[in-house]
Amino acid sequence: MKQLKDLDLSLELDKKMYKKKLKVLQYEMLNAQQFLFNNKIGLILAFEGMDAAGKGGAIKRLTERIDPRGLVVHPISAPQPHELRYHYMHRFWRKLPQHGQIAIFDRSWYGRVLVERIEKFATEDEWKRAYEEINNFEAQLTDGDYIMMKFWIHIDSEEQLKRFNDRAEDPYKSWKLTDEDWRNREKFDLYSEAADEMFAKTDTEDAPWHLISGNNKFHARVQVLKEIIEHIEKEATRRGLQMTNVFETQQAAEEEVVATIELPVNTKERKKSKKRKQVKK
């Protein structure tokens, strides 16, 4: 069973190696996107984690090099008044990607068993019932033409405090820090407990949770990309497909076409060739 206490938060990646790995993985992610598009398979990625854990940074590097036409990122906040008139899953059904496209949820339907549970926005019966509702929702999608992955990026309390203070002092990042973030920090342990229960009840083979050590941002960003690519390859095999490199295949085909074309010889070359033949005679 996956639990936060089992994460090794000391994992690190130096900047030089980070840049090398990131470049390779971003290329592989672009190829994976083309594979999904060509086979009309939708990819749904849900990101959860502690405040300032690095979800936004991981999403930025994930999407940096892929085709923006086949991608949408949904930043999820508290439901709007008109959304409260529906079942809480309604707004997420409306944001699902087309087959062959990618949808990323920065926060997700798991708010029902996290913030809504802890802040008592949902009754105990509602958030306990939500585990089965969420599993059914995800099963309907993964039984069809969707691949789904869920990420929890985790940092410890000390690292979170450091990042909060850094944000407060940086005019370009201060907007990220709110009074609500400081209040949530006081409930760090409650969120950890709720997360562990969430993993236990919603980690399934077809819609797995991936727990990412986030104290080192470089490690977290690379690990997210790596696990996405590996899971897409696994799901391709399960569907009887093979995820080949689209770009290398295209290049090889183009080179083959060029090789079959008889290039015209210019006039001067013809004359030189004719003279050489006459000399030989």
pLDDT in tens, the chain (281 residues): 899 999 999 999 999 999 999 999 999 999 999 999 999 999 999 999 999 999 999 999 999 999 999 999 999 999 999 999 999 999 999 999 999 999 999 999 999 999 999 999 999 999 999 999 999 999 999 999 999 999 999 999 999 999 999 999 999 999 999 998 999 999 999 999 999 999 999 999 999 999 999 999 999 999 999 999 999 999 999 999 999 886 665 565 556 655 556 545 555 555 555 555 555 55
Task: Give pTM, 2 decimals.
Answer: 0.86
Confidence (pLDDT) at 76: 97
- CA–CA separation, 138 vs 84, rounded Å? 21
Confidence (pLDDT) at 91: 97
Confidence (pLDDT) at 157: 97
Sheet holding 102-106: strands in order across?
71-75, 102-106, 42-49, 146-154, 209-213
Confidence (pLDDT) at 254: 57
In this structure, what token pair is assigned to residue 36? 């999904």
Do the Cβ atoms of 55 and 176 come closer than 8 Å? no
**Cα 240 to the chain's mean position, in Å?**
23
In this structure, what token pair is assigned to residue 116? 């809504």
